[in-house]
Amino acid sequence: MGNSCEGFFGPQKNTNVRVSLPAVCFVWQIAMIILFGVFIRYDEESDAHWAEHKKSHNISSDIENDFYFRYPSFQDVHVMIFVGFGFLMTFLKRYSFGGVGFNFLIASFGLQWALLMQGWFHSLDPVTGKIYIGVENIINADFCCAGCLIAYGALLGKVSPVQLMVVTLFGITLFAVEENIILYLLHCRDSGGSMVIHAFGGYYGLAISWVLYRPNLHLSKRLSGSVYHSDVFAMIGTLFLWMFWPSFNSAISDHGDGQHRAAINTYLALAASVLTTVALSSMSQKRGKLDMVHIQNATLAGGVAMGTAAEFMITPYGSLIVGFCCGIISTFGYLFITPFLENSLKLQDTCGIHNLHAMPGMLGGFVGAIVAAAATESVYSKEGLINTFDFEGKFAGRSVGTQGGYQAAGTCVAIAFGLVGGAIVGFILKFPIWGDPSDDNCYDDEAYWEVPEDEETIPPVLEYNNHMIHKHQDIAESNFSVEQS
């Protein structure tokens, strides 16, 4: 269907990306190689000089290498990025290839660009002019991709892979800048990225989608829903995101109690989100039936909202309260806000990232601000307070109240970067050169994928039908001829 150049409603757009997609992939990948050659080197823990480093720093055992503190969490984060986000986006009946496949493509590009961008901003050695990378950097690169994958959720089915590469290029760049402002200039804490990942990524995607509004998207309505098995595939994504979110929020927290506490808090918040999502989903439907869209998405809101506060002493019941509220808010969003955005604000948000990332991320930023402002030495211990908020160097002596204020300011910075950056990127994507699909050709893998014919799904009874039809045809025709004669 996507092959024919004429749709029902006039000529279809040309979705041919045979020149642009290979060109972008090749040129950008070659650029990555050159830039990596100039800038990127192993850090002292992944370099063969580690044996010397160990001696000179009096490190007694290889197990003290940061690899063993963070690599298991890295792998969990990696699964979230590729299987979690990827399969969550397979829910559409005929866009599973695009959901999981383009997610794969843009994350693979994004992580390379992120290593460079984050390196230039945070870890460029002023003497050697090199960026030294280790396991924490590759976790951060994955995090950086997450922002762009969230934005993809709003655009799912409506853009070409070339457009997605552009979204990723600018998204990673904007991410590195806002992250630098929030984490280094404002000295916010945001180990799980409520602000820098979710609020930014959410509003970035929403702004792009708002600019790319398609008034006739209803022409693709036939493909905008799920089928039974695509919903089960999407649950793979949901569950791997849900299960590994404790690793996401704790992956780059402080060694020891920081990582430990971040994992426990996230674990609890997510559990509470599931119960309130189920409750609200059931209340909203006839006969109390659950809606898969809510279960696939809103159950994750607790993890998003704990991104900032997970490493703080929010207390276990505080985590439950955050999860409780966010499950409700997110489900409420799917029920009422998404339709409102689409109808009133002309904002089409395929996966509902407003409800899962933008809103809970923003809330998570403010929760973090409040919890930071409420910190006391008796709860954290003197040393614990300094460690947790990193009140060292030029930030030694900052009060927790001030910290809370900066945390709130950081949230606003993330949102502003998302909205403004997304609007600009959206306008760039409006140029008619990107091979995006026409309004009646969205949500369809046919446009960018060789799709196998599903002839084998014809059940035996059909063959029988065919047989019977031909038989009737014979009978009917014989009747017809008899009568004619």
Rounded least distance, CB 302 to a copy of itself, Å: 10
Cα–Cα distance measured from residue 24 to residue 385, given in angstroms and rounded to the nearest whole number:
47
Q: Which is nearer to a copy of itself, 176 or 268 (CB)?
A: 268
Q: Which is nearer to a copy of itself, 171 or 418 (CB)?
A: 171
Rounded least distance, CB 345 to a copy of itself, Å: 26
Q: Which is nearer to a copy of itself, 384 or 405 (CB)?
A: 384
Q: Which is nearer to a copy of itself, 10 or 37 (CB)?
A: 37
Give the 3-state secondary structure of residue 42.
strand
Rounded least distance, CB 218 to a copy of itself, Å: 17
Q: Which is nearer to a copy of itself, 209 or 308 (CB)?
A: 308
Q: How many CB atoms lie within 10 A of CB 140?
A: 24
Rounded least distance, CB 224 to a copy of itself, Å: 11
Q: Give the angle 81-74-25 at the CA atoms, nearest 5°.
A: 45
**Two tokens at 252?**
């780059």
Rounded least distance, CB 62 to a copy of itself, Å: 4
Rounded least distance, CB 348 to a copy of itself, Å: 20
Contacting residues for 277 by C-beta, under 8 A, at least 6 apart: 294, 295, 298, 299, 301, 327, 328, 330, 331
Give the 3-state secondary structure of residue 40.
strand
Rounded least distance, CB 451 to a copy of itself, Å: 7
Taking each helix axis from N to C terminus, what angle separates 66-79 and 228-250, rounded to the nearest 10 degrees?
160
Q: Do residues 338 and 354 touch, judged by C-beta distance below 8 A?
A: yes
- Alpha-carbon torsion 454, 455, 456, 460, what sign? positive
- Alpha-carbon torsion 119, 110, 78, 196, what sign? positive
Q: Which is nearer to a copy of itself, 210 or 244 (CB)?
A: 244
Rounded least distance, CB 155 to a copy of itself, Å: 18
The two most distant CA atoms of the chain are separated, in Å, by 107
Q: Which is nearer to a copy of itself, 79 or 424 (CB)?
A: 79
Q: Which is nearer to a copy of itself, 186 or 270 (CB)?
A: 270
**Two tokens at 462?**
């059909």
Write the CA distances from 333 to 36, 70, 108, 277, 354, integer angstroms: 42, 35, 31, 11, 8
